[in-house]
């Protein structure tokens, strides 16, 4: 792990881009979560459920947060779950610990009936993480739940922005949005 901690953010980003292009970009006919049709799909789980992919992804995210005052990183379950876990773990290793939260689509109907799992607290500064953003709908649902619980959104980060309105959705509501890549940075057929 010490090798990864010593890799430059630029090298980690380059390795991550290669992994996304080689393993996560699929061609065919797909319907996206937004309902839009596409001739390509970016399945980040081919990255976020591998040790190499998560290591580089986490390294890049933590570099993006080095000047951001934040307490928590979170996002909508299921896509954000492995990313949150990896970033939280690596943050401890580099001496800048962050905790994580996972947002459910709706509150549980049993137990503590929570919509947000993890150490959410009133006034917490939260970064929302997403694997792929199209219109931003999933992240906006997570943001709504976090704000309802008293959190303050400081940034939204995604691995890939499909350039289909997500940025505009976030910025129109006053949220800072920063993608690691856009589809223009990847080998995407159009």
pLDDT at 59: 94
> With a cut of 70, which residues of the chain have pLDDT below it?
1-5, 108-113, 189-190
Measured between alpha carbons, how far apart are the two ends of the chain, in Å? 38
DSSP tag of 6: H
User: What pLDDT, on the 0 to 100 scale, is given for residue 111?
Assistant: 64
Given this model, what pLDDT does residue 1 score?
46
Q: Which residues of 115-132 are buried (b: 16+ CB within 10 A; e: fewer)?
A: bbbbebeeebebbbbbbb
Q: Which pLDDT belongs to residue 110?
A: 63
In a domain? residue 131: yes
Q: Specify the CATH number for the domain of residue 151.
A: 3.40.50.2020
Q: How many domains does the chain have?
A: 1
Alpha-carbon distance of 140 to 145, in angstroms, equals: 9
Tokens of 110: 């049993």
Can you give the pLDDT at residue 90? 94
pLDDT of residue 22: 95
- Give tens-digit pLDDT for 107-145: 766 666 689 999 999 999 999 999 999 999 999 999 999
Assess if residue 189 is contained within a domain: no
User: What is residue 109's predicted lDDT score, i.e. its pLDDT?
Assistant: 63
DSSP character at residue 31? E
In a domain, 19, yes or no: yes
pTM (2 d.p.): 0.92
Separation between Cα atoms, residue 166 and residue 162, nearest integer Å: 8
The answer to whether position 96 is within a domain reads: yes
Residue 113 lies in a domain: yes
Please give the pLDDT value at position 3.
63
Q: 166 in a domain, yes or no? A: yes
The β-bridge relationship of strands 25-31 and 37-42 is: antiparallel
- pLDDT for res 114: 86
The greatest distance separating any two alpha carbons of the chain, rounded to the nearest whole angstrom, comes to 47
HEC string for 67-78: CCCCCEEEEECC
Asked if the structure places residue 190 within a domain, the reply is no
User: Is 42 a domain residue?
Assistant: yes
Give me the domain span that covers residue 174: 2-184
- Size (the chain), residues: 190
């Amino acid at each position: 792990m010490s090798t990864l901690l010593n890799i430059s953010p630029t090298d980690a980003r380059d390795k991550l881009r290669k992994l996304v292009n080689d393993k996560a970009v699929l061609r065919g006919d797909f319907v996206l979560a937004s309902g839009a049709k596409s001739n390509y799909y970016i399945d980040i789980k081919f990255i976020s459920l591998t040790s190499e992919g998560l290591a580089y992804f986490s390294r890049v995210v933590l570099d993006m947060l080095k000047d951001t005052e934040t307490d928590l990183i979170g996002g909508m379950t299921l896509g954000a779950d492995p990313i949150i876990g990896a970033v939280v773990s690596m943050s401890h290793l580099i001496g800048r610990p962050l905790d994580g939260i996972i947002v459910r689509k709706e509150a549980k109907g049993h137990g503590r009936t929570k919509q947000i799992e993890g150490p959410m607290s009133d006034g917490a500064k939260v970064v929302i993480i997403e694997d792929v953003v199209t219109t931003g709908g999933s992240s906006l649902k997570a943001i709504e739940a976090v704000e309802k619980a008293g959190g303050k959104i400081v940034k939204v980060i995604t691995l890939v922005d499909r350039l289909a309105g997500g940025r505009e959705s976030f910025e129109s509501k006053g949220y800072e949005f920063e993608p690691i890549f856009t589809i223009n940075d990847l080998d995407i057929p159009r």
